[in-house]
Structure 1
Amino acid sequence: MTTVKQQGSHTLYVNNLSEKISKQELRMALYSVFSSFGKILDIVAARTYRLRGQAWIVYDTMDEAQRAFEGLQNFPFYDKPLKIAFANLSSDVILRREGEQISRVASARVVRRAENQERERMRRTMMAGVLLSHEEGADCDVSASKERKCILVQGLPAATTTHMLTLLFQQFLGFKSANMSAKEIGIGQVEFDTPAQASAALNGLQGFRLNAAHSIVLSFL
């Protein structure tokens, strides 16, 4: 049996097949022989005059197709040696699968890039705020805390001001107020109009990295 390697593909083109057996029997026989080399996704065989004596075997991986190519070349199949080559074009099932994977990867990359750009923009805004004067806001209303409208912000840089905290959270709908603790370094409070809006901000900024040493930790008051 030959071990000559050709250009890899998921799909093998098989010819010199017997033209005396039915399409169903041919597919079953091909599956029985070729499935021992890997997972088969599809077998295409037709009884039309132009396609008689030919079939296409689609494997899950190119390595499986390569093993079958090497192991079954000239294999006696219904008293005729199999002639196998790699198909020039990918099968529909592979194109669909790879298209979906490429789409998912591309979408994920776009999302990650947008998230990174937004985080970098917010980080620069926060760091620029260090030069601004310190502003003290009012504490969260007690009733608002009970309704989970207030968020406790921890892990802030020591130089963070109320203005900087405001810049970070005012991008979220329903932002009401923000203030830094006068007693504890790196801790602040933020209030929103509704619990749902506060929850959206908490989920959106949880673990947000301000710089190499500081990532904020958020919780409801």
Structure 2
Amino acid sequence: MAGIPPQQALYVHNLNDKLQKEELKRAIYLLFAQYGPIMDVVATKVLRMRGQAFVVFKDVTAATTAMRQLQGMLFFDKHMKIQFARTKSDVVAKLDGTYSAKKKRERKEKERARERAAAKMKLKRSQQSAIQDRDAKRRKVEDEARARERERERQREREEKRKKEEEEEVPHRTLFVENLPDEAAGNPEMLAVLFQNFDGFGEVRIPPGTPPVAFIDFANALQAKEAKSGLQDFKITYDHSLKISYAKK
């Protein structure tokens, strides 16, 4: 490869990553050994290094010949790609006296530091995601609680308004009934069966018109009040609840 000086170590990649490590090393050794003495074959189980290997020859000439002869060769159903390794192998460095255990330890420590930093960053992202999820759930719970409180407040306001209207009403012996179903028109018996259960009941009057309304007569205002309290909001049908007030004098 241009820019990488010839050396004894070859970087072989695009290999079949389904092979076991020892099987791959043995096959590579047998294939490359025909071009010269091999000092080492390196392959690992690390996921990011699968399908890759390093072959270290005793001399540069053998490595160069092997690279030229085997470049692109079909090897276990894949075409090999070969180039000179970018760094000198430990085996070669030990032989020529350039090996430095300290430098190797430093490289490994840098690699471990990068791995620790990556793991730390992954953990941090995971924690941030967990915090965001927790905050989102908390906000949802708080929003739902506020919505329920607003609904309770509206309900209290409606109830207070209704009570105030009732207090402001002038009691009368005749009740005015609204929110009746259409079938109540011309059918006073529909309401009579309800109101006749209260003392003082007189009659039900349903004047013509739509929507239907009714006037319920009682003997006195006190008896009318009892009937009003007893049947206020009574569901006469699934969709209709009685709305009862005192008739205007």
Please state which band the TM-score falls in when normalised by the shorter chain: 0.3 to 0.5
Structure number with greater CO (CA < 8 Å, separation at least 6) is 1
Larger CA Rg, structure 1 vs 2: 2
